[in-house]
């Protein structure tokens, strides 16, 4: 595993050890201490369409034996054109809650609809997680591929959460897995731009680098195996966050893992990041 940046100075142990650890030194617990609630609507505006009613739903998995726990809002991948919400098995029984989110997809909608949905789901979490015993001060946003892109967009561009009267800087941390940092190829495709033509505009996380953003952990697969330079995109975002003086950005590269395969070994690193910022 290669790494860049000292941000938090995470003391990463071997993956075999990380898989056995749980948060705050707690022992693993059985599934009977966790509740799974399915298909909760997170957008209830009066003008909600049938497609919004279908896609704008989340699953909530949370511990019943803990209070003030951390919550990971998890966005699935699929290129903004496919995919379904799911709770990653690597996050089971780890002393945290997971909010697994579905969102509207292209071509039925176009940008920024899926970004708006992502922001609405995070806003729902801020407004509701305390009812389940969690802490709104310990909300982490994460996701793989397209989900990583959504993570970075709503965390770095404050306007999306501001529409819900939520301060993006209240997010405890952002952990995109192999996400675009330039304008997403599906957004470019909606404009008739080829997927190999890089664009950086307001729909790119890179456009919104700022010193006061939440802590940021960028994780990618092997640069020689990743999709269309995804490592290099993230490396540039890491560099620009250093240039603007952001104190808490780190970049990790998982050697030997391609774009699809990097998610599984990235989850223990997400858990270690949570322990670092939410002791």
Nearest of 89, 74, 78, 204 to residue 141 by alpha carbon: 74
Domain annotation covers residue 30? no
Average pLDDT over residues 78-84: 98
Look at residue 279 and tell me whether its pLDDT is greater than 70: no
% of the chain at pLDDT higher than 70: 89
pLDDT band at 63 (very low <50, low <70, confident <90, very high): very high
- pLDDT, tens only, 132-163: 999 999 999 999 999 999 999 999 999 999 99
Q: What is the span of the domain harbouring residue 183?
A: 2-8+37-277
Q: 174-187 pLDDT, tens per residue?
A: 999 999 999 999 99
pLDDT for 27: 38
- What's the mean pLDDT in 220-245? 98
Q: What is the pLDDT of residue 277?
A: 85
Domain tally, the chain: 1
Structural contact between residues 215 and 169, judged by C-beta atoms closer than 8 angstroms? no
Flag whether pLDDT at 243 surpasses 60.
Answer: yes
- Asked if the structure places residue 196 within a domain, the reply is yes
CB 86 within 8 A of CB 100: yes
**CATH code for the domain of 167:** 3.40.50.1820
Task: Determine the longest span between alpha carbons in the chain, in angstroms.
Answer: 52
Is 19 part of any domain? no
Mean predicted lDDT score pLDDT of the chain: 91
* Rounded Cα distance, 215 and 117, in Å: 22
Which helix (H) or strand (E) segment holds residue 128: the answer is helix 113-128
**pLDDT over 50 at 28, yes or no:** no
116-134 pLDDT per residue, tens: 999 999 999 999 999 999 9
Strand partners, 74: 100, 142
Q: H-helix or E-strand containing 92?
A: none
**Locus of tokens 């939410």:** 278
Report which of residues 69 and 25 the model is more confident about.
69
- Summarize the confidence of residues 226-253 as an average pLDDT: 98
**Number of Cβ within a 10 Å radius of residue 239:** 14
Pairing of strands 249-254, 216-221: parallel
For residue 75, give the nearest of 84, 66, 67 by alpha carbon: 84
CB-CB contact of 66 with 133 (8 Å): yes
Please, which pLDDT band fits residue 12 given cuts at 50, 70 and 90?
Answer: very low
Q: Residue 30: pLDDT band by 50, 70, 90 thresholds?
A: low
The answer to whether 30 and 93 have CB atoms below 8 angstroms apart is yes
DSSP string, 33-48: GEEEEEEEE----TT-
Q: Is 151 within 8 Å of 179 (Cβ atoms)?
A: yes
Residue 13 belongs to some domain of the structure? no
Considering the domain boundaries, does residue 136 fall inside one? yes
In a domain, 269, yes or no: yes
Predicted local distance difference test score (pLDDT) of residue 17: 33
Q: b or e along 56-86 (b: 16 or more beta carbons within 10 Å of the residue's beta carbon)? A: bbbbbbbbeebeebbbbbbbbbbbbeebebe
**How far, in Å, are 18, 44, 61, 85 from residue 40 at the CA level?**
31, 11, 11, 12
Q: What is the distance between the terminal CA atoms of the chain, rounded to a whole angstrom? A: 25
17 found inside a domain: no
pLDDT confidence of residue 185: 98
- Specify whether the CB–CB gap between 35 and 64 falls below 8 A: yes
Residues in CB range of 127: below 8 A, 6 or more apart: none
């Amino acid at each position: 595993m290669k790494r860049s940046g000292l941000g938090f100075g995470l003391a990463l142990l071997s993956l075999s050890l990380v898989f056995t650890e749980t948060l705050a030194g707690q022992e693993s617990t059985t599934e009977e201490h966790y509740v799974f609630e399915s298909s909760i609507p997170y957008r209830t505006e009066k003008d909600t369409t049938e497609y919004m009613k279908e896609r704008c739903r989340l699953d909530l998995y949370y511990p019943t034996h803990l209070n003030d726990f951390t919550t990971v809002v998890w966005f699935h991948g699929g290129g903004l054109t496919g995919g379904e919400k799911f709770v990653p098995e690597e996050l089971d029984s780890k002393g945290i809650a997971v909010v697994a989110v579905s969102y509207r997809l292209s071509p039925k909608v176009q940008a920024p609809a899926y970004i708006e949905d992502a922001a609405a789901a995070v806003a729902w979490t801020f407004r509701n997680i305390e009812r389940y015993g969690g802490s709104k001060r310990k909300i982490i946003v994460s996701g793989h591929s397209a989900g990583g892109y959504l993570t970075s967009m709503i965390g770095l561009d404050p306007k999306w959460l501001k529409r819900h009267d939520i301060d993006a800087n209240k997010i405890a941390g952002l952990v995109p897995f192999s996400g675009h940092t330039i304008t997403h190829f599906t957004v470019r495709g909606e404009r008739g731009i080829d997927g190999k033509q890089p664009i950086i505009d307001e729909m790119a996380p890179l456009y919104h680098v700022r010193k006061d953003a939440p802590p940021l952990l960028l994780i990618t697969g092997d640069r020689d195996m990743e999709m269309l330079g995804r490592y290099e995109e993230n490396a540039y975002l890491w560099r620009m966050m250093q240039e603007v003086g952001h104190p808490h950005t780190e970049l990790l590269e998982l050697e030997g893992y391609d774009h699809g395969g990097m998610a599984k070994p990235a989850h223990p690193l997400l858990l270690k990041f949570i322990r670092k910022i939410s002791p």
